[in-house]
Amino acid sequence: EVQLVESGGDLVQPGGSLRLSCAASGFTFSDYNMDWVRQAPGKGLEWVGRIRNKANTYTTEYAVSVKGRFTISRDDSKNSLYLHMNSLKSEDTAVYFCSTRWLGDWGQGTLVTVSS
Amino acid sequence: DVVLTQSPLSLPVTLGQPASISCRSSQSLVYSDGNTYLKWFQQRPGHSPRRLIQRVSNRDSGVPDRFSGSGSGTDFTLKISRVEAEDVGVYYCLQETYWPYTFGQGTKLEIK
């Protein structure tokens, strides 16, 4: 059974940084691209970004709203995905989900609150 | 970015009746390989999203056959043939033809 468990969500001040993690199990992590998707409180889904697998040289794609501030990385030896968030803004407040297998499997999400 | 416009945004439906959600794209979603990368997701209250349909009309394993997807180019539809209580939630379309991927605003289905 595929399991994705996000962690690292917290309250952070505007301009601050945070790193989210996603621990994966139940599938061959290294074979798959991984995505981050977020959902602001009471709002819709927003795709954040993707990191491809090793076969595709770990290349990344990002939403315009986070490009240059967020970085996605992965550690295949630890079956883990990361989202490094810098220069955080109030509009980054959201539940952040990790997802895989072409958005077929999702974690439960972790809440990031950006507020002073 | 490609804009996906869903309608209606709110959909009250009587149990056992059909429901239909439209997703219109600001540009054709036909990729250079001939495929159309449009997905549908369901998000039940308090839950993570669940993928229902891939490439316009391909239902995921375990998704009831009362759910169906159709459309082409810029116009797509998710239909539920007979709404059940467990179908309550928000439905989203997603395009994966262009970077960055974009979701529709969501359609909230409720029981009338």
Cross-chain residue pair A103–B51, CB shorter than 8 Å: yes
Mean pLDDT across A79-88: 98
For A16-55, b where at least 16 C-beta lie within 10 A, e where not — what string?
eebebbbbbeebebeebbbbbbbbeeeebbbbbbbbbbee
Residues of A in contact with B94 (CB under 8 A): 45, 47, 103
Q: How far apart are alpha carbons A49 and A20 in whole angstroms?
A: 13
Token duo for residue B68: 């169906």
Q: Where are the beta strands (DSSP E) in chain B?
A: 4-7, 10-13, 19-25, 38-43, 50-54, 58-59, 67-72, 75-80, 89-95, 102-103, 107-111
Q: What is the pLDDT of residue B76?
A: 98
Closest CA to B77 of B111, B40, B105, B48: B40
Q: What is the pLDDT of residue B23?
A: 98
pLDDT tens digits, residue range A91-106?
Answer: 999 999 999 999 999 9
CA distance A19 to chain B (A): 21
Mean pLDDT across A57-71: 98
pLDDT band at A25 (very low <50, low <70, confident <90, very high): very high
Return the residue of A nearest to B60 by Cα. A104
Q: How far apart are alpha carbons A79 and B91 in whole angstroms?
A: 30
Tell me which residue in B1, B54, B92 faces A45 most closely, judged by beta carbons. Answer: B92
Cross-chain residue pair A44–B94, CB shorter than 8 Å: no
Chain centroid to Cα A80, Å, comes to 11
Tell me which residue in A45, A61, A108 faces B103 most closely, judged by beta carbons. Answer: A45
Q: pLDDT by residue for chain B (112 residues), tens digit each?
A: 999 999 999 999 999 999 999 999 999 999 999 999 999 999 999 999 999 999 999 999 999 999 999 999 999 999 999 999 999 999 999 999 999 999 999 999 999 9
Contacts of A34 (CB under 8 A, 6+ apart): A22, A24, A50, A51, A72, A74, A81, A98, A99, A100
CB of A109 within 8 Å of a chain B CB? The answer is yes
